[in-house]
Amino acid sequence: MQRGGRKSIAREGRRVKRIGVLFAVIAGLVAGTALEASATVLQSHALNTLEFSYVESVFGADGTRKAGFDLAPGDHLVGIISVNRITAGGETIFTAGPEAQLTGVYAHKVLSVPPYPVDGGFAYDPLVPTSPLAHVEFGSPDLVAFSDGSSSINLAEILAPGEMLALWLDQGSGATAYTTAGSLANGMAAATDGLPFLSAGIGSSGYFYCHTDPTVTLADLMQGALIGQAFAGLEVMTNATGHCLASILNADDPEKGVATQLAITSDLSINPLGIFQPEASPWTLAGTGTAQIYPAPEPSTFALFGAAGVIIGLTRLRKRR
């Protein structure tokens, strides 16, 4: 073989080696990204629907749990939430179980309740005066202590200013099970165990309100009737999902029509155990709902592949020269 041919083969070998090392580095970095929570929890470029159940109680302006569920301005609704399943593209991509828990806490302050003055009269809903449903508007919670008997929690130790919802992901054989029984503090501790996943609040453009049926009775509720529905569009405040989250509309929201990163719809009902055996459960209300988000890959991932393309391009250019 001629000497020039050996040099050409050697250069080609070094070029292949450089490209191989480059792709090995890229693969390692992408794999690192894949180890984020979103790799096993969220699906990119698809609407992800988080199906959840929750319990909550009404706390008066003094921070103590109220026996019933009548609301007044200054009251707080504080509760815990468990994501039972996540679906995307028609497939189930996450199911809660002994080794996978996506749970958290949410809290909101009652800003206004009916009746609302409208055109010289009063209405249940200021935006739709003819509606028979009562409109209740919520805002960011006060980060103070709330108590149920001898058990108490301090939201200042759980939420940051402006946050209304925070989720934690707990995976592995030691995952802490979500529970609605026991004390207020124990339920909150179990729901907030794990690694931070995301948090959200009203921010500058979000909203949170509910529509309730003022004619529903306790007997109706015991038969499965709903108190009403809640609708929220929240801005994500902290994000450890491994994805950027696009703004979307809440398709169920009948009034606001604002696009946010987290769209929530939930049914409002009661927790009979919390009403009739409050020593067994500190939560008076319960329900189910969905939260929707639309994840996209982190910009750093695109930048990584972009850098790879530039380096490979330069390598090819050098070869031509």
CA atoms within 13 A on the CB side of 25: 10
Question: Model confidence over 75-101: pLDDT tens digits?
Answer: 999 999 999 999 999 999 999 999 999
Question: Model confidence over 19-54: pLDDT tens digits?
Answer: 333 333 333 333 222 234 434 589 999 999 999 999
| Alpha-carbon span 252 to 126, nearest angstrom | 19
| Alpha-carbon span 89 to 93, nearest angstrom | 9
| Cα distances (Å, whole numbers) of residue 261 to 94, 174, 236, 265, 306 | 20, 31, 6, 14, 27
| Six-digit token string for 92 | 């189930």
Closest C-alpha to 239, from 139, 143, 166, 190: 166
Closest C-alpha to 106, from 68, 67, 78: 78
Q: Report the amino acid identity of residue 147.
A: S
Q: Report the amino acid identity of residue 98.
A: P
Cβ-based burial of 279 (10 A; exposed 0-12, middle 13-18, buried ≥19): exposed
Q: What are the residue boundaries of the structural domains of the chain, listed by start?
A: 43-297
DSSP states of 275-313 as a string?
HH-TTT-S--EEEEEEEEEEEEE-HHHHHHHHHHHHHHH
Looking at residue 45, its pLDDT comes to 93
| Six-digit token string for 36 | 């984020």
| Alpha-carbon span 258 to 208, nearest angstrom | 11
**Biggest distance spanned by C-alpha atoms of the chain:** 101
Q: How many CB atoms lie within 10 A of CB 19?
A: 15
Closest C-alpha to 274, from 167, 199, 187: 187
Looking at residue 19, its pLDDT comes to 39
Q: What is the chain's pLDDT, residue by residue, as a tens digit (321 residues)?
A: 444 444 444 444 444 334 333 333 333 333 222 234 434 589 999 999 999 999 999 999 999 999 888 999 999 999 999 999 999 999 999 999 999 999 999 999 999 999 999 989 999 999 999 999 999 999 999 999 999 999 999 999 999 999 999 999 999 998 999 999 999 999 999 999 999 999 999 999 999 999 999 999 999 999 999 999 999 999 999 999 999 999 999 999 999 999 999 999 999 999 999 999 988 999 999 999 999 999 986 554 444 444 444 333 434 444 444
